[in-house]
C-alpha cells in the first residue's frame, strides 16, 4: 500500500466523518472504495468519449453504405 497525504475541503471532510460514524467503516477503507468507484466512472467516460469520436469518424462511410443497401433493396 502507498501512503498519500491530501487536503480535503472542510465541508467534504465533515460530511465524510458523519457518514463514517453511521456506517462504522474506517476512513481509509471508505476513501479507497470512493477512489475505486471514481476510477471506474472515469474509465467508463474515457471509453464513451473514444467510442463517440470513433463513431463520428465512420459516420459518413456508414451512411454511404446504408444508402447503397437501400438502392439494392429498391432494385429488387
Question: Which tens digit of pLDDT belongs to each residue from 23-38?
Answer: 999 999 999 999 999 9
**Residue 19: all three cell numbers together:** 457518514
DSSP 8-state secondary structure symbol assigned to residue 26? -
Give the mean model confidence (pLDDT) for residues 40-47.
Answer: 98
If one counts the domains in the chain, the total is 1
Confirm whether 2 is domain-assigned: no
Confirm whether 1 is domain-assigned: no
Position 66 pLDDT exceeds 90:
no
Sign of CA dihedral 31, 34, 36, 42: negative
Nearest Cα neighbor of 11 from 19, 23, 22 is 19
Q: Which range marks the domain in which residue 54 is found? A: 10-75
**Residue 44: all three cell numbers together:** 467508463
- Judged by DSSP in three states, 31 sits in helix
d(CA 44, CA 70): 35
Confirm whether 5 is domain-assigned: no
Confirm whether 45 is domain-assigned: yes
Amino acid at each position: 500500500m502507498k501512503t498519500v497525504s491530501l487536503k480535503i475541503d472542510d465541508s467534504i471532510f465533515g460530511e465524510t466523518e458523519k457518514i463514517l460514524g453511521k456506517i462504522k467503516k474506517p476512513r481509509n477503507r471508505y476513501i479507497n472504495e470512493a477512489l475505486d468507484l471514481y476510477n471506474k466512472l472515469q474509465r467508463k467516460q474515457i471509453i464513451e468519449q473514444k467510442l463517440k469520436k470513433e463513431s463520428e469518424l465512420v459516420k459518413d462511410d456508414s451512411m454511404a453504405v446504408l444508402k447503397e443497401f437501400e438502392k439494392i433493396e429498391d432494385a429488387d
